[in-house]
């Protein structure tokens, strides 16, 4: 019984996707180390807050997809199609929502601490934006062509910046540059994972970039976003105080060229292999960034 409960909780919170939050936190903390602004306690608290917010988004998304019937009709893959645990009756809709609300509630003392410790409106502002994204992602943003944008902000730029910022209350040029670029990996991650669900999403009222401009143009957006990321990384390596070895980040983003070619060859359909490669590329970008910064700090 306990095993089934743990499995259900894991599915409804989509725990396998939480690794992304850990890697975002790892890379942001690594930047703090590199800039000489590291604070262990604040880093751990900020990472906990990010994971809790991610859990909340996943729970609200699971509940909404069940309520609207999306999860009953989508074809399930490890990266798309939602979950079946609510459809199968393993957990109720209301309990799923309550888990999400509990996760957000648990972040409150963390942000109160940061607000007091840093005496900064930046923390409060990002916290409020995080709540808006968590509560409104599925039922508002994902239905108004903004899902990919808030994913890039809420699980890319903003948490990277915040986890760096709360270590000392300082803002550096490198933190601004990298926070802005970290929008792209999660933006493109969601963009590709939306392809298999286009028909059901359209039927159930979701509105996203592939639906708005079509699969072919969405692939061009995906490819050009990653090319821009690669060019920007090369620029940062040579024009800022970041280590030259940061240029290694172009290799994960260049995987997008192979993925784009695969999708083109497959008549603009995304298969499981494409989603695997894209997920690997996104996770590798945050992982490589953290490793490069830590290695440069220790040298």
pLDDT band at 293, cuts 50/70/90?
A: very high
| Rounded CA separation 166/207 (Å) | 35
- Secondary-structure breakdown of the chain: helix, strand, coil percentages, each rounded to the nearest 5: 80, 0, 20
Read off the pLDDT band of 1 (50, 70, 90): low
pLDDT confidence of residue 230: 93
Residues 6+ apart with CB under 8 A from 200: 70, 73, 74
Mean pLDDT of 149-174: 95
Measured distance CA(247)–CA(230) in Å, rounded = 8
Evaluate whether residue 63 is within a structural domain: yes
Residue 271 lies in a domain: yes
- Report the helix count and the strand count for the chain, using DSSP H and E: 14, 0
With 0.85 as the threshold, say if the pTM is over it.
yes
- Report whether 191 contacts 148 (CB < 8 A): yes
Tokens of 230: 């690669």
pLDDT above 70: percentage of residues in the chain: 99
What does the mean pLDDT of the chain come to?
Answer: 92
Q: What pLDDT, on a 0 to 100 scale, did the predictor assign at position 82?
A: 79
Integer Cα distance of 116 and 125 in angstroms: 14
Range of the domain at 36: 10-298
Continuous segment of H or E residues that includes residue 279: helix 272-298
How many domains does the chain fold into? Answer: 1
4 lies in a domain? no
DSSP string, 194-215: TGGGHHHHHHTT---HHHHHHH
Cβ atoms of residues 37 and 173 within 8 Å = no
Please report, for residues 104, 131, 133, 147, 294, the alpha-carbon distance to residue 136 in angstroms, rounded to integers and kept in the order given: 13, 8, 5, 10, 36
Query: Domain holding 172: CATH number?
Result: 1.10.600
Q: What is the pLDDT of residue 62?
A: 92
Whether 142 is in a domain gets the answer yes
Mean pLDDT of 18-30: 96
Q: List the end-to-end C-alpha distance of the chain, in Å, as a whole number.
A: 50
Question: Residue 286: inside a domain, yes or no?
Answer: yes
88: confidence class by pLDDT, cuts 50, 70, 90 = confident
Indicate if the pLDDT at residue 225 is higher than 70.
yes
pLDDT of amino acid 185: 95
pLDDT at 120 (0 to 100): 82
Residue-wise pLDDT for 235-261, tens only, equals 999 999 999 999 999 998 888 889 999
Give the lowest-confidence range in 76-85, 180-189, 249-258.
76-85
Whether residue 5 lies inside any domain: the answer is no
Confidence of residue 115 (pLDDT cuts 50, 70, 90): confident
Domain assignment of residue 274, yes or no: yes
Instruction: Produce one character per residue of 252-264: b if its CB has 16 or more CB atoms within 10 Å, e if not.
Output: bbebbeebbeebe
User: Considering the domain boundaries, does residue 2 fall inside one?
Assistant: no
Spatial neighbors of 216 by CB under 8 A, at least 6 apart, are 268
Please report the pLDDT score of residue 164 as a whole number: 96
Mean pLDDT in residue range 42-71: 93
Determine which of 26-40, 77-91, 132-146 has the lowest per-residue pLDDT on average: 77-91
């Amino acid at each position: 019984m306990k095993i089934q409960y743990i499995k259900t909780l894991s599915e409804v919170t989509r725990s396998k996707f939480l690794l992304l939050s850990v890697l975002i936190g790892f890379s942001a903390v690594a930047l703090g180390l590199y800039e000489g602004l590291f604070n262990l306690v604040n880093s751990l608290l900020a990472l906990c807050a990010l994971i809790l917010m991610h859990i909340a988004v996943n729970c609200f998304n699971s509940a909404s997809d069940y309520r609207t019937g999306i999860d009953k009709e989508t074809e399930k893959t490890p990266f798309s199609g939602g979950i079946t645990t609510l459809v199968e009756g393993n957990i109720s809709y209301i309990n799923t929502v309550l888990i999400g609300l509990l996760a957000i509630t648990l972040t409150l003392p963390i942000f109160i601490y940061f607000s007091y410790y840093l005496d900064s409106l930046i923390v409060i502002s990002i916290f409020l934006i995080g709540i808006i994204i968590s509560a409104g992602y599925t039922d508002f943003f994902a239905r108004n062509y903004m899902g990919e944008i808030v994913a890039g902000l809420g699980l890319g730029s903003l948490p990277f910046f915040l986890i760096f910022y709360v270590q000392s209350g300082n803002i550096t040029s490198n933190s601004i540059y990298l926070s802005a670029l970290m929008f792209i990996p999660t933006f493109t991650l969601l963009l590709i994972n939306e392809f298999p669900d286009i028909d059901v999403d359209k039927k159930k009222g979701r509105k996203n970039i592939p639906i708005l401009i079509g699969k072919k143009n969405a692939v061009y957006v995906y490819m050009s976003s990653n090319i821009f990321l690669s060019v920007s990384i090369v620029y940062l390596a040579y024009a800022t105080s970041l280590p030259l070895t940061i240029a290694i980040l172009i290799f994960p983003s260049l995987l997008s060229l192979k993925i784009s070619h695969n999708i083109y060859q497959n008549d603009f359909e995304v298969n499981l292999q494409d989603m695997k490669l894209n997920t690997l590329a996104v996770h590798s970008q945050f992982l490589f960034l953290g490793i490069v910064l830590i290695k440069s700090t220790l040298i």
